[in-house]
Every structure is written in structure tokens, then in C-alpha cells.
A and B are shown apart, each in its own frame.
Chain A
């Protein structure tokens, strides 16, 4: 928790108020409203009994009547104002906070280095901040308002009492200190328990997700897996209950003591009021004093629970700050934002390891890729191929060595600028709930020209047949998530759709990371032919553990355990009779047999 000391409650409140300026006005009006609600009746009561005491006749009643009428009119006006604000508050401001916060968080994501994602923690915090951050902010704001309201009220009621019976104020003060002490202890207990249970909640969350995870459903149905997790879930539940039983009994007793202290205020106040009135024989203010005492007791009780709620909400600010504080290095590095035409990419003795002291993922990699070349990068799983893609895109930075675009070091170029020079199909490609055209362009479809491009691309990957038969054509929404007329794609079709992105891109370098894993052989061959003829002037980097891409490549790099083991054209490498040939033959063997 120490790291987060720098984010005081005050700066958090500032952040909340900065998300929507109207909150200040709403706070102000709420304070006035609470005074109206709780203090006005006491004043009126005192005033009316005073009139009665002095003048218990028709005349006196007339005066009382005007007071009642004025009070009613005031309340009617007040009701209108409060309604307008309350509703603004309830239904719109909270949503606005939510919207503003998510915009803030989304922009933050742009700045966070890719490496940070690799730690599960960051995304967990991010999810929390995004899911609950706004409601905790709103809760903080709301309980803060209540505290202010209650403090203002205590001050005003307190002043009245201080004039008449200062002992009551003293008693309230003592109770206040006592409850504050109790409160400190109980929040500590609550915090400890929630820390203890956080792990169990995480486990429970995973199990719940599992039970509605599509890909797990078949295992759950057809193996004994479900019993394993049902047992586990019950055990986790027992642990949570155990922690609560152990620690909460102490908390509850303390809270009961605190409650008795605050609620005794009314009894003490009543006794003192009765005593002073009887001594001074002054019945006039009796009624209003009693009413004030009961209001005071209510407000003090209210204050303790508002503070509790405030604490509960405000402690969660760290979820948001953990995200906002995430330092960004790589994403902000470099100043160059325009690049000359692409000529070459150079890797100069590049080393990379994901964590210090860990085995290197890439070890002393040097190569040069020139404009127009077709490159195949092959190797076993874990050879470092995907890490290489990340380096190309400046998602990560070499631990040693350097990368150059033409002669410009990567270090000096802004990430956005570098990434624009690539069109990439990732191994874990995704389809979004946008239209088909938007999924290919990854922007809104705006011009006729773009439309033609999209159709052209669809034809090349062999999806045009399917799309053209849809009622809305390329404007059909992908997936049925938001549109029941949406189009669903099979695994192979999804991959084709993603490959279509390459055909509309103007980037000079294309990277395809395992682009063919879900394609049937005929589609695979067809699409490869299309890519090769499309990319005739472009630079093409194929990454694969299949060797079907390698024969036509200008240069092949065979990776093994983070190093380049062999390089050259297919022909050269076959002649070399090394690892490449061995691997190629394992895969080709069955096909070769037939050819012979």
C-alpha cells in the first residue's frame, strides 16, 4: 500500500470533481436541502410554541397559520429544485462519470507499454478499474456529500445546544472520539479480511467463468472436470466463511458498542433537557429542544455510517490509480514522426529476454531485410518467432543491440509511426462486432474507393461469394452479439477475413504470423498465391512452423532456441543438408512418397 500514499483522498476528490464540474453545484444544493429537511422543522416548532406560549388566542393562531403556509410554499419550491437536481444526479451524472472514466482509462491503454500487459496483475487492475471504478467514484462522491451535509447540520444544531446546554455538546464530542477509535479498528479488520479473501474471490471468479466458457463446456460435460471444480468451489467457500467467522465477530462487537454510544446521545440529551427545564421552569423551548436532540442523535448515527461508506469507497481509488500510475517508457520514446520511404530494416546484434536473469528469448540476432524481399521465418515452438514480431512493431525493445529503419534507429522513432509501416496478421487474430467492411479496414467505411478495395480484398481471400449473398453485403455486422442478422464465420472464414486486412493496407511491410493454421489446403494455396502476387512490390515476412511457405521465399531464417541456426534460400539450405533439410523432410515426407 505504501506506493499509493502519494494519492491522497483529496487528490482523488479533485479527480472526481474534474470529471464533471456540475458535481460541485449539486453538492452545494444537497447541503441546503439537508438543512431544509432537518433543521427547518425544529425552527418552526420552536417559533410556533413560542407564539402559543405568549398568545394562545385566535390572533396567535392566525400568525401560526401564516407561518405554516409560508413553510408549505417554501417546501413546494424546494421540491421542484430538488427533483430536477436529484434526477440529474441519479440518472445522468453517474453515467457521465462512468463514461469519462472509461475514456480516461482507454486513452491510458494507448500509453502503456506492451510488456506491462504480460503481467496478469495489470490487466486485472485494469478490469477492476473499468468495471467498478466509476461506481466507487460515485459512491465516494455521494458519501462525501453526506458527510459535508451532516457536518454542517451538526455545527448548526450544535451551536443552538452550546448556548443552552453545553454538556450535551461535550457528551457528543466524547462519543465522537470513541466511535472514531472503534471505527479505526473495525476498518482495519474489514481490510484484513478482504485481503485474506481476495485470493479466494479470484479463484471463485475463475471457476464461475469456466462454467460459462464456451470452450470448456465440452470438457465439463464429457469428463469428470466438473466434479473437480465443484469440490474446489465448495472448499473455497468454506475458507471464505472461516475467515469471516474468525474476524467478523470481533468487528461486530465493536460496532455494537459504537452503536450503543451514539444512540445513548438521545437518552443523555433527554435527561439533561428534562433536568434544565425543570430547574429553570422554562417549558417553552422544551419541545423544540427535544426535537433538536433527536435530530442531533440521528445525524451523528448517520455520520458514522457515511464515514464508513466513504472509507469503503475511497479505498478503492487504488484500482484506478494503479492503472493511471503505470509508467510508460517505450510508448513515449522517440520524436521522429515521419519516415522516408522504406528501404530496409536492420537487426544489429539484438538480444531479448522477457525478464532479467531469465533465459534469453532471442540471442544475438542480426539480419537485414530489404524492400521487396519475401522472407520466411521458421522454427519450432518457443524458438522466439513471435517475440521477433513484437520487436518489429516496437511493442518491446531489445535488451541489447538495436534495430534500424533505413538508417534511423528505432529508439528515435515514435511507436505509432513505426507501426504504421506494417500490416500484420497475428496468430491470435480477432474479429470485432463491426461491419464486415469495418473489420477489414479497421476504420469507418467512408469513400467509394474504400468500398472497392474491400470487395477486391474479399474476392482475393475467397469470401466474396458468401458476403455478396448477404442482404446488407459488406455492411453486415459480424457476429450476432449486437445484431440478430449479424453474420457468423467459421474458423477458416474468420482467418480469411483477417487476411483480407492485408489487402487493403497501404503499409509497405506485411507480416503474417501463422496465417494459415485454420485454412484447408486448397484455400491455403489459393490465398498464398494471392498474397504473393499482391505483395510483389511489398516486403513480406512469413512466420510459420510449417515449411510450405518457404520454397518461394527470397530468404529463409531458421530459428532455434532464440538464435538463427541457418539462413539462405530453400535451395541453399537443402544443399547444406542441415537442420532445415531434416525438418523440411519430416513434413514433406508423406507428400514426397506419393510424388515418387
Chain B
């Protein structure tokens, strides 16, 4: 397993947000976590990335214990993060934002090819290299957040709500790019409220409810489950 989460427990302030979660992500997969608002999806991602500390349980990445590690150390190990709400640096240019994404990379050649890769995936960003990130549209900021996370050449990408608040054409584009990035060999753990798109793009999925995994399996099977159809896909 590339990423394993075992019996993870996290308090978010006074709220018992994760009540013993187990998930696995294998190399090369796209795995999505779906669930309603407040189910604990973002807390799970924040606990994996060390932004929030867990009270119990373990997270391992390539057999190394990374429980409660500092986020900045995680980047060096090969984990890229595109956080909820995009969190770009508003007063830095697009290019500077990407340069920050490659902060841990010292090889000039590698940084160069990082820019090329991101600009190839998102040509829109190339047109805006000298523009301040705060002046970009929501969709462009989302591209930048994903591109920035790719600059460190990660083995796994953690994506938190990449489609949130985007126009439908951007949603399709972002999901196409996620599949493309996966084809380039990057494992992906995706958190989404847009269960339709997430399940259609993923290999496997976990349904998170009230801080617990309520269902897991192949994305296709999950998408066909009557309970999921009713609760998350607006069908049935």
C-alpha cells in the first residue's frame, strides 16, 4: 500500500470528527472520499497531511510512519497537497506560486520541467504567468492550486474539493486533468462533494459518514448502490 490510514481518531476543537477511520490507497489508483458536508472528509485529509493532529491511530506512507508529521516535511517525502479553498498566494504571480510549489526542489532542470508539465496541462496558466493569483477566476485558481502541488513532482496528490464553486465546464476540465495526471503515474486521493463526478473518475471510493467509513469498494459498485444513489447522487 502506498498510503494507509488505520483507526484514525481526531478531535476538531471539541468536536469528535474522526472516530476510527481505515483507508488504503494503492500505487497508481484514483481513490475518492465522498460524503456530505461535515462528515469529516476534510478533517481526514488535514489529519493525513499533519495540519490537524490525530489523538489515536496511524498514517503510513510507503511503509513509513507519517502520523502527525509537519506538513512541510511531507512534501519532501513525495506528497503533494491541493488544499480546500485553493489557498493560492494572492499577491504572488502565477509563476511565483508555482515556484513556491517547487520550493523543496533544488535542481533547476527539474523546476523547468515542472513548469512545462503544468503549463501543458493548464495552458490557461501559461497565458497568465505574470498575473497576480488573486486576480484569477475561481477555476483558474483551482488549476493553479493543482499545478502548484504538482511542482514538487509528488508520487501522490491529495486533492480537497477541487470542483467546489466552479462553473460546470471547469468541473469537467479539472476532472479530465486529474485523470491525465493519474495517467502520468501520480496516485490520487480525492475528496469531493460532487459524488457523481468523483465516482465516475475514480477506481475506488470510500463513503464517509459521521466520522466513520460507512461503505467502501469499487467506484462503479458504490455509484450503483441504492443508498448512495439516494443520499449522494440525487437519484432514486
Q: Do A and B interact? A: no
